Amino acid sequence: MCGIFGYIGKDKKPASLILEGLKSLEYRGYDSWGIVVISNGILKRERHVGKIGEAKTVLPQTTTGMGHTRWATHGGVTVINAHPHFDCSEKFAVIHNGIIENERALRRALIKKGHKFSSQTDTETIVHLLEEVSKNNKKNNLSLVDQVRLATSKLEGAFAIGVIDRDRPEESVLARFGGPLVVGITDGYKLFASDPTALLPFTKNVIYLKDREIAWITPNKVEIRSFENHLKRSKIHVLDWDVEESKKGGYPHFMLKEIMEQPLSLTDTMRGRIRDGGLVKLGGLESVKEQLRDIDFIRFIACGTASYAGLYGASVIQELTSVTADVEIASEFNYGSFNWPDRSAAWFISQSGETADVLKAVDRVKREKILSLGLVNMVGSSTAQATTAGVYLHAGPEIGVASTKVFTSQMISLLMIACWLAQLRGEGEKSRQVAKQMALLSKLLSAVLNSRQVLKEIARELVSKSQIFFLGRGRNYPLALEGALKLREVAYIDTVGMPTGELKHGAIAAMDKDRPAIIFAPSDGMEMKNRSSVQELKARDIPVYVMTDKSGRKKFTDVADRMFVIPDVHPILQPILLAPIVQILAYEAGVLLDRSIDKPRNLAKSVTVE
């Protein structure tokens, strides 16, 4: 969850540069932050509680250093728990993302050996372990890499760590087992970060560290070895994102920018993938084409918003092909019992590609020898690397913690996957019609976004309510879940998301004037069922907001309190056009309630701990 940023060199002003890097990583964790630099053989550190905001650093601008933004796991949000952490002799500094599961046993053993702990963090055990290794090997003259290897061999759990040593002002060592780490390559100095977007202002050339790898970094060299000390070949990836793309572009918040750029992100996701006549081409699946031709069952595995996109994906796969599909929440999947019929595939959906629950599920699926596929936004991320094949979203960087443009890109990708599968299996007639319609989406989506003002007025009515019910049927049910999640996470309003047909099985008992319903009811063949549900709510004085399309509106004009109308489109595409509604409602409600829009309290963009 936490953000890591480091600099190895001497030409730049390291402390200021690290602070800049941390600012762009703050969405990963923002309870507290800290920086350390090496100054004349001494580790100089500053640590603070709260967001970085417009902070300036007070540290000397000397050589190598590193910084961290924290999302607390072990120990409260205090200055002493903020990273970087030092050993007793203040020789080593460590920053860490992840959780050390044997922290208590290690701490006890280290205390017995005389180490003094100053924080409650699991991270501090790492730095004392390092000190122990260094003390025990004084005569052996071990390199920093060897010391880190010995220290990390004692750790259980997940970690991505950065280490510096006051006596080695021009080197740093990284070790990765579970959390993301990327090295930025430039002439004369090197950088590292937990997210490549933080490196973009400085370089587009990066090396992704893999699990069980250790990197030794100097201003002119990066050497990567396995935990077993085998030298590895490191491939340099060239990032194809623009620095401007990851900035706010004139919008007050990243969330709004990302909502408004959906016509473009959808186009980017579809680019080159839909051919004349509605044929879909997905290059990332070529290598597993033969297996997928005969597949009988697909299980999508994901968390949060990505799992709701998965629900939509499972429904459209079943609609367009003869393949059975379902969705499991990764954290449930990891500890449950699940059967896999013959000819199954697991498909992991993740924006970051670094979600710990998802990565754990990938491991399990691979152990069970099931074909593992990815649908990921972050190129080169852990999920992308760990799966056999997959599809990239190409939605561009998403910085706001609330997922918006990635949700619509996930849905359109899943629809393309359904069409591709149908065409591969000779079941493609309907899919070609659908694929041709996709070309219209970006224009129609712009029309929806242009009506933002109506949604702003609805949001104004919603912010004073005690609870809000989001309702949908069939393909639009995932939207009810996404609507409830979005409003909860951005505006902190109590919400429920449920299938419309379930109202009478319990929920309607709790609803009243102060607990309105938002119902997704486009013209998809369920209009009369939806109209009955609206009438039942109205008969009990429960306010109803109907989200429908041009053709559907006449069914609701006499019963809805308020309506929002999207343009007509093929029913299978309706959820994609309806999605911005929940995003804008959540955004506007969050602004009216003065919430922390891009970094909601207690959340982080990338959930890299279980």
Vertex 562 angle, CA 558 and 565, to 5°: 95
Kindly identify the residues of this chain, within the stretch 283-312, that bind ligand M6R according to CB under 6 A. 303-306
User: How far, in Å, CA of 243 to CA of 260, rounded?
Assistant: 18
Instruction: Show Cβ contacts of residue 373 under 8 Å, excluding neighbours closer than 6 positions.
Output: 285, 288, 345, 346, 347, 348, 387, 388, 389, 390, 391
Binding flag, residue 408, ligand M6R (CB under 6 A): no
What's the helix, strand, coil split of the chain in %, to 5? 40, 25, 35
Which region, judged by CB under 6 A, interacts with ligand M6R, from 90-98, 139-147, 252-260, 346-354? Answer: 346-354
Binding flag, residue 194, ligand M6R (CB under 6 A): no
C-beta of 178 vs 571, nearer to ligand M6R:
178
Catalytic residues: 2, 605
Backbone angles phi, psi at 348, to 5 degrees: -95, 125
Binding flag, residue 350, ligand M6R (CB under 6 A): yes
From the CB of 577, what's the least distance to ligand M6R, in Å? 19
C-beta of 81 vs 403, nearer to ligand M6R:
403
From the CB of 581, what's the least distance to ligand M6R, in Å? 15
Binding flag, residue 395, ligand M6R (CB under 6 A): no
Residues 358/303, Cβ–Cβ less than 8 Å: yes
| Chosen residue from 22, 174, 317, 402 binding ligand M6R by CB under 6 A | 402
User: How far, in Å, CA of 226 to CA of 208, rounded?
Assistant: 13
User: How far, in Å, CA of 43 to CA of 574, rounded?
Assistant: 57
Tell me the per-residue interface mask from 437 to 476 with ligand M6R, x by CB under 6 A, - otherwise. Answer: ----------------------------------------
CB-CB neighbours of 201 under 10 Å: 15
CB-CB neighbours of 210 under 10 Å: 17
User: How far, in Å, CA of 357 to CA of 344, rounded?
Assistant: 21
From the CB of 404, what's the least distance to ligand M6R, in Å? 8
From the CB of 312, what's the least distance to ligand M6R, in Å? 14
Residues 483/456, Cβ–Cβ less than 8 Å: no
Binding flag, residue 197, ligand M6R (CB under 6 A): no
C-beta of 254 vs 556, nearer to ligand M6R:
254
Token reading at 411: 């849905």
Binding flag, residue 169, ligand M6R (CB under 6 A): no
Q: How many residues bind ligand M6R (CB under 6 A)?
A: 16
Binding flag, residue 35, ligand M6R (CB under 6 A): no
From the CB of 303, what's the least distance to ligand M6R, in Å? 4
C-beta of 402 vs 565, nearer to ligand M6R:
402
Kindly identify the residues of this chain, within the stretch 481-500, that bind ligand M6R according to CB under 6 A. 485, 489
Tell me the per-residue interface mask from 52 to 91 with ligand M6R, x by CB under 6 A, - otherwise. Answer: ----------------------------------------
Vertex 122 angle, CA 14 and 216, to 5°: 40
Residues 601/395, Cβ–Cβ less than 8 Å: no
Binding flag, residue 351, ligand M6R (CB under 6 A): yes
Q: Across-strand partners of 373?
A: 347, 389
Which region, judged by CB under 6 A, interacts with ligand M6R, from 289-297, 401-409, 449-457, 514-522? Answer: 401-409
**Nearest residue to the partner ligand M6R, using Cβ:** 304
Residues 479/470, Cβ–Cβ less than 8 Å: yes
Instruction: Show Cβ contacts of residue 571 under 8 Å, excluding neighbours closer than 6 positions.
Output: 475, 522, 523, 524, 525
| Chosen residue from 175, 421, 607, 609 binding ligand M6R by CB under 6 A | 607
C-beta of 171 vs 489, nearer to ligand M6R:
489
Binding flag, residue 352, ligand M6R (CB under 6 A): yes
Vertex 400 angle, CA 578 and 391, to 5°: 70
CB-CB neighbours of 182 under 10 Å: 26
Binding flag, residue 401, ligand M6R (CB under 6 A): yes
Binding flag, residue 355, ligand M6R (CB under 6 A): yes
From the CB of 487, what's the least distance to ligand M6R, in Å? 11
Dihedral sign, Cα of residue 238, residue 375, residue 435, residue 398? negative
Token reading at 271: 């680019």
Site residues (CB under 6 A) for ligand M6R?
303-306, 350-352, 355, 358, 401-403, 485, 489, 606-607
